[in-house]
Amino acid sequence: MPKNDVHLWDVKTGQQKAKLDGHSDYVRSVCFSPDGNTLASSSSDQSIRLWDVKTGQQKAKLDGHSSTVYSVCFSPDGNTLASGSNDKSIRLWDVKTGQQKAKLDGHTSTVYSVCFSPDGNTLASGSNDKSIRLWDVKTGQQKAKLDGHTSTVYSVCFSPDGNTLASGSNDKSIRLWDVKTGQQKAKLDGHTSTVYSVCFSPDGNTLASGSNDKSIRLWDVKTGQQKAKLDGHTSTVYSVCFSPDGNTLASGSSDKSIHLWDVKTGQQKAKLDGHSDYVRSVCFSPDGNTLASSSSDQSIRLWEIKNKYCSDYRFKEIQVKNTRYIYYYGLPILQKRVFYKKPFPFRRIIGVLLVSNIC
């Protein structure tokens, strides 16, 4: 597969819906708009592109960065796109016009992560310069500089109420910051290597973290104590994300797999295989029924996860007007299949009909 491709997959059929061509180098980051109609992508070709998800056509090409664009993030209202780059800058873009609204300068090295606050008024950024910065989205001015990490900050995430910011770093620590004062509230130690991803639960009481030490850890935000350690991946965990109801945690790893975890028990619920290279990012849809993943294999995959929770898979064969069908309860691969006489003991072509999860 060419390195400049973005692929969308239809979760109902398992067939490719669209192949989006345009970038001339590696695609580094993708992000859906809040309404799900637009996909933003960033690349080592220094550009950002906006795509119409329904048609697969490019809507706009946003030029301005002078080096690799590592991160893109939509504002909560979907009107603004933020981007962070190896050129040390952050840029804010008008999604409707594709015009640059602001250029935020201050970082002295690569910007790896950008994240909007829940109200959309503040943007947080994490950088290779070891700092976190908070920006006023309306004015483009820096509101605060949060120092404390002793190495690269790879991930930043706001709590649901917007009062706390979590950060994960190459210094092996997670830090919690008071957004209003800019002061460090807590330092969470436990990981034995780089922390690549942090994510708050929807209720804000739990923080999940993924690390190069192959583990995922769950932390009590109020006490700062580790609640659980989830083992199962065999290599670096690059991304963690809670489902909207907070009951499931998804994780993506350089072992090429995605794992789904029961947050209450800490047990693995499912393992999703399909990517042929590192899984860099995982993200739940707003309704929690679909999981999106992106990978170093240059693909994006959408997973229908509801049926993966069944503990057993059952076939039921029935006869309807001389046509034989098979119902496959709990089938995780949502696609039609056609079978022929050999090696099956019947002559007619039979279709497989997917039935909704009954578990």
How far apart CA 215 and CA 131 sit, in angstroms, is: 25
Whether the CB-CB separation of 89 and 107 falls below 8 Å is answered with yes
Tokens of 48: 């950002």
Q: What is the mean pLDDT of residues 160-171?
A: 97
Judged by DSSP in three states, 140 sits in coil
Cis peptide leading into 202, omega within 30 of 0?
no
If pLDDT is split at 50, 70 and 90, which confidence band does 337 have?
very low
Tokens of 226: 């580790």
Tell me how many degrees the CA angle 153-76-93 measures, rounded to the nearest 5. Answer: 75
If pLDDT is split at 50, 70 and 90, which confidence band does 328 have?
very low
What is the DSSP-derived secondary structure letter of residue 339?
A: E
pLDDT at 6: 52
Nearest C-alpha neighbor of 251 from the set 226, 222, 229: 229
Is residue 167's pLDDT more than 90? Answer: yes
* Residue-wise burial string across 281-301, b where 16 or more C-beta atoms lie within 10 A, e elsewhere: bbbbbeebebbbbbbbbbbbb
pLDDT in tens, 175-199: 999 999 999 999 999 999 999 999 9
If pLDDT is split at 50, 70 and 90, which confidence band does 222 have?
very high
pLDDT at 18: 42
pTM beyond 0.85: no
Alpha helix positions (H), the chain: none
Tell me how many degrees the CA angle 284-285-287 measures, rounded to the nearest 5. Answer: 115
pLDDT at 305: 65
Round the average pLDDT of the chain to a whole number and report it: 79
pLDDT in tens, 13-64: 323 334 456 777 767 777 778 887 887 888 888 988 887 776 767 788 899 9
Tokens of 132: 């976190």
How far apart CA 13 and CA 43 sit, in angstroms, is: 29
Whole-Å CA distances, 87 to 94, 106, 129: 20, 11, 12
**Residues ≥6 apart with Cβ < 8 Å to 14:** 333, 334, 335
Cis peptide leading into 286, omega within 30 of 0?
no
Tell me how many degrees the CA angle 103-105-111 measures, rounded to the nearest 5. Answer: 95
pLDDT at 22: 72
Residues in the chain: 359
pLDDT in tens, 119-147: 999 999 999 999 999 999 999 999 999 99
Tokens of 151: 């190495």
- One DSSP character per residue, 201-240 reads -TTSSEEEEEETTS-EEEEETTT--EEEEE---SS-EEEE
How far apart CA 338 and CA 309 sit, in angstroms, is: 25
